Structure 1
């Protein structure tokens, strides 16, 4: 009979990997948020202090102090995660391709194509296709990006006229939104298309992008709603 393998080292390696990731995230966040350590430690101490006080009031200081430790750790991790996310957005804000980094964090079910259109002045449009429809994201000058987005919408209208198209402009210019706001709006988009419809949209757009391939014509499968615009 074969001997069972010892599963012990694997979880230990995972714990070490997680610890290294936390340390790396802390080091990167510390470069832009020098108060991160004070916030995390302060949160831990404050939450634990609440449990200690409750323990004294109810005459169970040791028990409630022990119970309070995991809550204090969890609260500190939540604060750390939020400030690390804020620091990460601040680091890439305004850099060309920053919106593409947000798109690449989308979960399974999305097809992301960075820089489907661009100008020599670093105005860029990225595209993502998923159940909410076709998402176009522009970065750069509001005027030039607006022109690029209009051109892309026109192209898409020829091959997928019934597919919802949502466009965003990310940046600090007039009518543009920040990376963090873009990420929040992106994850809240309603799911309109069925997986089969998403696959059909991808096929049509892929045909448009392929040289020498005939672009399929005709309406998409029934059941799609009217395009919903958002800026």
Structure 2
């Protein structure tokens, strides 16, 4: 109390904490609803989803009980087996959803850029550093391996694009290794679903500090590409109307 007036700080603090709890609960509820909706959609499209999830759960429980039976502690290991089984079922669900998403996106303009934006770890992605009005594109990725140029589109067009961009990049990147990747399902190409795994397997050649230096140098090069769609272009979208939009930008 100050000057005979009650101190309102504790009341305001309690109100803020209550609001934060309510916000946290609302966010948690929204996440659960999203997961449930994703599960329902995947279940309708993937008839093997529930058998796979159930199999992963039962196998985990059976292993825990089996090991526990050998040492006479199966009652102790049963709850642990159930917990591991739930995690295994969730993991199966996540992997099958991811595979379904990549299958639908495969071959659509913008799919490679979308996959790169979902990379985990210290990667610097610049979409559409080169491209054509046919929605062929070259994306630039800077990571511990060095500079990776990732192309998507018609092979006879993107090979020239990626060669030109490699020359431009080499002028300012110095001795930094430059890799090139073409996303596709033909020989010598990397499938969309295996793009992230391919990049993660590349050797680490530079430090994080060197990454920042190279990123600053390459930013000065600018872009030679038309605007690309943000994410895979929806199935059934009219290519001609999209191309006209790209030309106007």
TM-score (norm 2): 0.72
Counterpart among 155, 172, 176 of residue 163 in structure 1: 176
For 1:135, the equivalent position in structure 2 comes to 148
RMSD across aligned C-alpha pairs, in angstroms?
Answer: 2.8
**Which structure is higher in RCO with an 8 Å CA cutoff and minimum separation 6?**
2
Aligned mates of 2:220, 2:81 — CA distance in 1: 58
Structure exhibiting the larger radius of gyration computed from Cα positions: 2
Aligned mates of 1:10, 1:63 — CA distance in 2: 37
Counterpart among 31, 43, 52 of residue 30 in structure 1: 43
- Secondary structure of the residue aligned to 1:191 is coil
For 1:20, the equivalent position in structure 2 comes to 33
Counterpart among 105, 111, 120 of residue 98 in structure 1: 111
Aligned mates of 1:126, 1:178 — CA distance in 2: 16
- Secondary structure of the residue aligned to 1:209 is coil
Higher helix fraction (1 or 2): 2
Quote the offset at 1:186 in angstroms: 1.2
Contact 1:128 1:134 (8 Å CA) reproduced: yes
Aligned mates of 2:209, 2:67 — CA distance in 1: 56
Contact 2:119 2:196 (8 Å CA) reproduced: no
Which runs of 5 or more structure 1 residues have no equivalent in the other structure? 212-231
Which runs of 5 or more structure 2 residues have no equivalent in the other structure? 1-8, 225-249
Aligned pair in 2 of structure 1 residues 66, 197: CA closer, same or farther (>3 Å)? closer
Q: Counterparts in 2 of 1:77-88, with a 5 A limit?
A: 77-88=90-101
Contact 1:142 1:175 (8 Å CA) reproduced: no
Aligned mates of 2:182, 2:38 — CA distance in 1: 28
Contact 2:65 2:77 (8 Å CA) reproduced: yes
